[in-house]
Every structure is written in structure tokens, then in C-alpha cells.
Amino acid sequence: MSYYKNEQDYIDVETTNKYKPVKKINVFLKYFLIAVLSLVFGFFGGGLYNYLNPSQVIYQTTTKIENTTANNDNYSIQEVVSKVAESVVQIKVKSLSTGFLGQTITGESAGSGVILSNDGYIVTNNHVVEGADSIYVILNDDTQYTATLVGTDVKSDIAVIKVEANNLVSATLGDSNSILVGDTAIVIGNPLGEFGGTVTSGIISALDREITVGNQAMNLLQTNAEVNPGNSGGGLFNSKAELVGIINAKTSANDVEGLGFAIPINDAKTVIEQIIDKGYVSNRATLGIYTAEIGYNNQGYEAGLYVSEVIEGSGAYDAGIQAEDRIIAINNIEISTYAELSRQLKNYKPNDTIKLTIVRNNTTIEKNVTLTEVIVE
């Protein structure tokens, strides 16, 4: 069984992993590596690196997203929808690329989002707006706005965008830590990029479900409410009409239904507030390397996780880590994939020192690496 980010389009790649990653690219040892270029750093929810373009960041220090749990009432599904439908939006994205003959190609995709404040802050998934040249938001009443990217965080798959509007209907944030298996789950989003405001319902099937989505190790809520491509960034609501999760993944298996996943709102809230306040998420520790993953033995290279590039001035650089070193352990915990590396790094903070075990020229070497903080300029 495999999982993919809940995008409108996705690409199958050959992999030996249990879960399906996003498309990978070759970064070294071309002709036989299935590689993913990734800046390695740790955090509590899995990831690669922050794709912020400084010119796109809005630095805002006055707006905070409050956890305003409303009441203890349980509403019917119809009542929940009537209370929250206006807080869920459609997101349309346009991206420009250069074709083989030098022509400009415009790509379009769609997702969902949830309004956080009446002055226009909206949360969605990073993978919904990643690489976007233009972002458009369509409200429940079909009013359309052009949105600005406030900031994005690949590790948590969270992004915040902003529209210039007032008196919008914002969602009430619930407490995802209080959710129990069997609780009502209501999903509202924009499936297939065409059916905005679609409602599906079910229950919370599992808590703290660890899966790997696009090489990201994430701890998510699981629901059997139907989730389709285009629902990404949409809301998972409870029977109190509170937002308790942000939809971001589903199973890709053809013979399996009822496996949808959402980022717990308590995890998302911490990221959202930092993005609005600073434009990025702080206190993330980094090794300071890019990695490439080999899925099978080939031409003398064993399957595993290799260093493809070392960033000058980083902890890895100072420790003498080199390109083509194969990472096999952190503090004696075995590592063979980026997801495993990310899962371990999330336990550390900047200035922590870890023991990195590598293989270089068939010799096992141990290096002490002092982690540094990821700085978004």
C-alpha cells in the first residue's frame, strides 16, 4: 500500500519504499540513481526544506490565530456545514515553466484552503501552492481574489496565503489533542478542482498515524471520510463545528478506500503562527547537506542514502562530511532513507551534537556533527 500527497495530479515513480514518494530527480551518479534533492533538517513533522522566496514573504507581527473553542455542543452534519462552509475556499494555482523548445508553458492545479481570520489569512498545504506564479482564492459565494504567499513550510506541508478582504468568515480552531477514535469527522474541500464546497463525512479512524508522504515522515489523523485529489488544504471539522485538521493525503491503492489523512490543527497552528509572524518556522536544526537516495545496488553503489552536496559553513562541512558518503546511522539508529533521517532529526535542536555514521570507500566512519539552525533569508 502506498500514499501520495493529495494533489490534483501525481506521478508514480519506481520505489522500494512502502509509501509512494513524490517525483525524484537525479543529482549525482546519473543514469542509475533515483534521487531527491533535499536540504536535510529536523522538526516534529517530517520534510525537506523551506521554499520561501523572500520577495513573496509578508512579515506580519500583529495577527495571531486564536484557539477559540466555541462550546461543548454536538451538531448534526447539516448544522456543522451551515456554520463552517463559508470558511472553506477553493484555491487555483498557475505555474509557468519553459518547454523543450523554449516556449512558456502555463500549468494549472487546484486545491482547498480554510480562512483563519476575517482579514484574509488562509491556511492550505505547501504542496498546493508550491512553485506557484499566481494564486487565486474563490469563496463559497464564488467571489474571487488574487492571493499573496505569506510563507510556506515543506516539513509540515503547511502554507499561509493572504487576500485583501475584510469581514470574511473564519473557522473556529478546535483542539486536536482532545480527539478520540470514533469521533465525527466532516471533510469540506474542492475535490478534483471542480466541486468546491463538497462535503463528506465519517469518523476519526486513528490518531497519531505515522506515514511517509513524499519522503516526509508525518504524524497524522486518519479518517474514513472520503478524500479526493483537490481536497488538499481543506478542513477536517468535528461535531462542534471546529477545525481540527488540514487534509493533506490519502491512499493511492486502487483497491483501498476510506484512508484519508489530515494534519492535526494543534501541530498546524504552531507553524501557522510562526509563518505569519516571521515568514518561516524557526528553531529547525539542519545537518547542512543535500541527499540522494539509491533504491537498489548498482555499479558498486549499495542501496541507501548518500550525501550529494555539503553546504559550506554547515555542521556537516565542519565535521568533514563529503559528497558520496553513505549515511547509515544517527546516534547508532540505522538510517537508509531520507524519511528515516528526517524522523530522527526532528528530535534535535540547533547546537545539538549528533554522531553520524557514514561509509566512505568501504570504510565505516563516525563523525560528530553539530547541528545549526535553518535560516530563511
Look at residue 104 and tell me if it is in a domain: yes
Catalytic positions, written as ranges: 127, 157, 232
Give this prediction's pTM: 0.71
Whether residue 159 is found in the same domain as residue 105: yes
Number of compact structural domains in the chain: 2
Q: Which three cell numbers mark 230?
A: 483537490
Query: What span, in angstroms and rounded, lies between the C-alpha atoms of 23 and 2?
Result: 14
pLDDT value of residue 252? 63
- Among 262, 278, 294, give the residue marking a domain's end: 278
pLDDT value of residue 250? 79
The residues pairing with 239 across neighbouring beta strands, listed in sequence order, are none
Give CA angle at 5 (99, 293), nearest 5°. Answer: 75
Query: What span, in angstroms and rounded, lies between the C-alpha atoms of 185 and 187?
Result: 7
pLDDT value of residue 339? 82
Whether residue 39 is found in the same domain as residue 109: no
pLDDT value of residue 253? 63
- Among 224, 243, 278, give the residue marking a domain's end: 278
Look at residue 27 and tell me if it is in a domain: no
Query: What span, in angstroms and rounded, lies between the C-alpha atoms of 273 and 170?
Result: 15
Cα 271 from chain centroid (whole Å): 11
Whether residue 232 is found in the same domain as residue 332: no
Look at residue 177 and tell me if it is in a domain: yes
Domain that holds residue 325: 32-43+284-373
pLDDT value of residue 257? 65
pLDDT value of residue 46? 28
Whether residue 227 is found in the same domain as residue 310: no
Place of cell 467571489: 143
- Among 233, 249, 278, give the residue marking a domain's end: 278
pLDDT value of residue 1? 41
Whether residue 206 is found in the same domain as residue 335: no
Look at residue 133 and tell me if it is in a domain: yes
pLDDT value of residue 212? 78
CATH code, domain carrying 344: 2.30.42.10
Contacts of residue 214, defined as CB under 8 A and 6 or more positions apart, other chains included, come to: 4, 5, 21, 22, 127
Look at residue 81 and tell me if it is in a domain: yes
Whether residue 215 is found in the same domain as residue 344: no
Look at residue 21 and tell me if it is in a domain: no
Weakly modelled stretches of the chain, pLDDT under 70: 1-72, 193, 214-215, 252-258, 375-377
- Which residue type does 223 have? T
Query: What span, in angstroms and rounded, lies between the C-alpha atoms of 111 and 127?
Result: 9
The residues pairing with 356 across neighbouring beta strands, listed in sequence order, are 330, 367
pLDDT tens digits along 299-326: 778 889 999 999 999 999 999 999 999 9
pLDDT value of residue 258? 64
Look at residue 7 and tell me if it is in a domain: no
Whether residue 223 is found in the same domain as residue 347: no
Cα 29 from chain centroid (whole Å): 28
